[in-house]
Amino acid sequence: MLTLELLRPDHAEAVLAFERANRVWFARTVPDRGDTYFAEFPARHAALLAEQAEGTCRFHVILDPSGSLVGRINLVDIADGTAELGYRIAESAAGRGLAKAAVAEACRLAATAYGLHTLTAATTLDNPASQAVLTHNGFAVTGETLLGDLPALSYRRSLAALRPTE
């Protein structure tokens, strides 16, 4: 069982440690965040919390049953009932179904807690595991795009089946 928690100020140390520990792993399939991200992390963390307070984003940490931070999952650019989903799972936690479960929970939260009706996502062409996670969770390919300068597929999912009925 995993838990998604909205990003808080006290998550900063664990998030930074997670990002540092997995930097090389993530750079295999997504654009690297760059040295500036790590050098200016406190300001970046504060900026994310400000965006979340404005309601334009929802940032989450993914905790395993022991309470260890094993991933991040975010809903960004929230507008008109739509948001873009992004996620990353620690190398040490990959292959255990955590990404599938976290995306399922994020979709549920998006529909029920945040009132969204559609999510979009993208993953690089050389990341079949992420493609499988999205497909498993009801996302359909809508075309090709770029993540940074890497070729990627874009996805879309309606959340209508998850929204509460009135």
Inform me whether the pLDDT recorded for 14 exceeds 80.
yes
Inform me whether the pLDDT recorded for 166 exceeds 60.
no
Q: Which domains does the chain have, with CATH numbers?
A: 3-162 (3.40.630.30)
Segment among 124-128, 134-138, 155-159 with least mean pLDDT: 124-128
Query: What's the mean pLDDT in 115-126?
Result: 96
Q: Which residues contact 161 (CB under 8 A, 6 or more apart)?
A: none
Which pLDDT does position 144 carry in this prediction?
97
Which pLDDT does position 52 carry in this prediction?
97
- Give the pLDDT band of residue 27 (cuts 50, 70, 90): confident
User: In the Cβ-directed half-sphere of 136, how many Cα atoms lie within 13 Å?
Assistant: 15
Query: What's the mean pLDDT in 151-163?
Result: 95
Q: Per-residue pLDDT tens for 28-83?
A: 888 788 899 999 999 999 999 999 999 999 999 999 989 999 999 999 999 999 99
Inform me whether the pLDDT recorded for 1 exceeds 60.
yes
User: Using an 8 Å Cβ cutoff, are 103 and 134 in contact?
Assistant: yes
User: Using an 8 Å Cβ cutoff, are 99 and 121 in contact?
Assistant: no
Query: Which three-class secondary structure string do you get for 23-45?
Result: HHHHHCCCCCCCHHHHHCHHHHH
User: Average pLDDT of the chain?
Assistant: 94
Query: What's the mean pLDDT in 119-139?
Result: 96
Which pLDDT does position 118 carry in this prediction?
98
